[in-house]
Amino acid sequence: MKKRLLFLGGGVPLIFLTACAPPGGSQSVKYVNPETSQPHTVALEYKDFRRAAIKLVQKMLKSGVLNHPQGGRYVIAVATVINDTTQRIDVDQLLSDIKEALLESGKVVISSAVSTTDREKMLREIRKLRGNEEFNQKTLPGKGQLIAPDYLLSGKILERSYYVGDKKYVEYYFILKLIDTKTGLIFWEGKEVIGKMAADTASTW
């Protein structure tokens, strides 16, 4: 902490306190398993959960669970991802990355008929327009036209932290499950772990 003096008229001093950087400069933070550039914090960054999302989708595709026997594409409904960590995570962005990776595979289509987003409330409102004389009924979706999803994809993010000496280790577990909507059976489950290490003075937010 540094002190700075500012003299007003009459020679009255005011004292300002300014924070100093920790000894040795900026805080050093690194990945336990270094694969990319140096992170800025032990908290999750956008590149962390994007990398985890892509890796999990790659594992799912490699497992063969999405290989349709007739050569078609499965219909998947994507549920929310529960954030069970102390971090503020943009779950919507994570879901967007997962959907993007799945659609790019060409093996699935994403259902918007079954979800918990505001967009689905809009779909329900559109369906209520059936029979409304103000609208051309030929332009509205008829009953029995929506396709039920084959699978439901859900996820969870967990956090585990511990100390080894003066080093703080934080591990984040990304878990995805693919559930058969007809039987409720889990057809696939994957986990991706991101580990970070920092001195005990590092901020986690």
User: Which residues make beta-bridge pairs with 78?
Assistant: 153
Nearest to 57 by CA among 94, 98, 112: 98
pLDDT, residue 19, reads 47
Helices (H), 4-132: 46-63, 91-105, 118-127
pLDDT at 144 > cutoff 90: no
Tell me yes or no: is domain 26-129+147-199 CATH 2.30.30: no
Give pLDDT tens digits for 91-121.
888 899 999 999 999 999 998 876 655 556 6
Q: Are 59 and 190 in contact (CB under 8 A)?
A: yes
Highest mean pLDDT among 56-60, 87-91, 148-152: 56-60
Give pLDDT tens digits for 2-19.
545 444 455 545 444 444
Which DSSP string do the residues of 63-86 spell out, in sequence order?
A: HTTT--TTS--EEEEEEEEEEESS
Domains in the chain: boundaries: 26-129+147-199
* CA distances to 40, 49, 95, 119 from 44, in Å: 10, 7, 15, 27
Say how many C-beta atoms besides its own lie within 10 A of residue 50's C-beta.
17
Look up the pTM and report it: 0.68
107: which 2 tokens? 């093996």
